Structures are given as structure tokens and as C-alpha cells.
Chains A and B, each alone.
Chain A
Amino acid sequence: DGGITQSPKYLFRKEGQNVTLSCEQNLNHDAMYWYRQDPGQGLRLIYYSQIVNDFQKGDIAEGYSVSREKKESFPLTVTSAQKNPTAFYLCASTRSTGGGGNTIYFGEGSWLTVV
């Protein structure tokens, strides 16, 4: 079945560590996104990529990094510079990036907790 797979589902990070969240899609979508969700808050865009080897900062990119070496994969690294990383992280992808019809599909999310 086609879909978006995020891993791990739960991740614990020690202070000062970098951690990487995986996101893989087999939907042949061009664009991929990373969102952060905090309790009682909506989704905030961290990074997005419209095409392989290209990505753009979203609203809250500080302390995060991404890569897009393959169309199917868009990993997110939460660096030690991110001071408050505990949150629920959602990866998403969409078929087109402009002109409308941007139906976005989401993965099941990854919980990151700082210990």
C-alpha cells in the first residue's frame, strides 16, 4: 500500500544530542514537509522540499536541518541548537506544489522527548 512512513514512533534525546527522524514515502510525491505539533497548538512548518536536492525553511527552522537526496526520503535532524525539541513531529507529502489541488498526506508522526 502507498503511504508515508515515519520512524521511530517514539524517541528520547539527551541534552546536547542530535537526533534524526526518518520519513519515507512511496506515493511518488514531489513535495515533502516537516511540521511540529505542540499540545493545544496547530501545526507549524519546519522545512519543506519541492524537489530533490532542494529545500526551504519554514516558519520555525532554527535548530533543525534536513536533506532531500532522494525523492522518497526527507529526514529531519533535530540538533542540539533546538532548545525545546520535545514535541510531536509530522511528515507530509503532496503531489503538486502549485496551482491548487495540494492534497497533503501525513505520516503517523514521531514523538520526541528530551530526557
Chain B
Amino acid sequence: GEDVEQSLFLSVREGDSSVINCTYTDSSSTYLYWYKQEPGAGLQLLTYIFSNMDMKQDQRLTVLLNKKDKHLSLRIADTQTGDSAIYFCAETNGGSQGNLIFGKGTKLSVKP
């Protein structure tokens, strides 16, 4: 079945850029998402990208998609302590089931 892989941990210093990487196996993925989860809370949609795009920028967030390598990344510029959270990559092919396939999440720790 489809799979989404992420590294489990990332630690950066406040003010640096963070890059969270994700790989997926479903070649028919149409939409790829980044979600943020703060402790004890639900998932908050940060951004998403269509599979026919290779980059999307939204304020401090930049998403890069390499469809050939099935690689997705999320770059957070000027990382702040409030960005500390777990970040989930997810994909869907928009099929009849309509559900997302999630990675296990990357825990981002921002040190002052």
C-alpha cells in the first residue's frame, strides 16, 4: 500500500531555517499536505500543494515538491519557539475513499 516517510526529529535554533522532509510512494498522489500538531491538540492545516506544482510559498513557509523523486519538503524561515510542534506530511490521490495517508510526523524543537 501507499506509504509516507518522515524523519522523526529535527532540532534548530531560533532564527534559523527549518527544513522538514517527506517521501511518499503513491505515484498517483494529487495533493500533498503539511499539518502542524501542538501538544494535546488536533491537526492544523498549514499548507498544501497540487502535484502539478513544484513550489508554493506562503509567508514564512515554502513547500517544494519533486514529483520525479516523490519528495516533499517544508521550509520554515526565521523559525520561532512557537513553531515547536509535530509536523505531519500527508498525501491523497483524491480517489473514492478520499482519505489521507499520513507520515508519522516530525517533531520540531526550536532552541532559544
Contacts and interface: CB of A to CB of B under 8 A. Distances in A.
B98 A50 contact: yes
A100 B31 contact: yes
Size class of A's contact patch? 20 to 34
Nearest to A110: B42
B42 A106 contact: yes
Contacts, number: 67
B30 interface: yes
Interface stretch (B12-20, B57-65, B69-77, B100-108): B100-108
Contacts of A11: none
Given A103-B45, A105-B45, A98 B99 contact: no
Contacts of B45: 103-105
Contacts of B103: 42
Nearest to B41: A108
A86 interface: no
A42 B105 contact: yes
A8 B104 CA distance: 25
Q: Which of A4, A6, A103 has the most CB of B within 10 A?
A: A103
B8 A98 contact: no
A31 to B, nearest CB: 6
A31 B94 CA distance: 13
A104 B100 contact: yes
Contacts of B88: 42-43
Contacts of B40: 109, 111
B21 interface: no
B30 A40 contact: no
B99 A48 contact: yes
**Ordered nearest first, which 4 A-B pairs have the shortest CB separation?**
A97-B98, A106-B42, A100-B94, A42-B104
Interface of A: 4, 6, 31, 33, 40-43, 45, 48, 50, 56, 58, 90, 92, 94, 96-109, 111
29 contacts: A31-B98, A40-B104, A42-B88, A42-B102, A43-B88, A43-B102, A48-B99, A56-B97, A58-B99, A90-B43, A92-B43, A97-B98, A98-B95, A100-B30, A100-B94, A101-B31, A101-B94, A103-B33, A103-B45, A103-B48, A105-B45, A106-B35, A106-B42, A106-B43, A106-B44, A108-B41, A108-B42, A109-B41, A111-B40
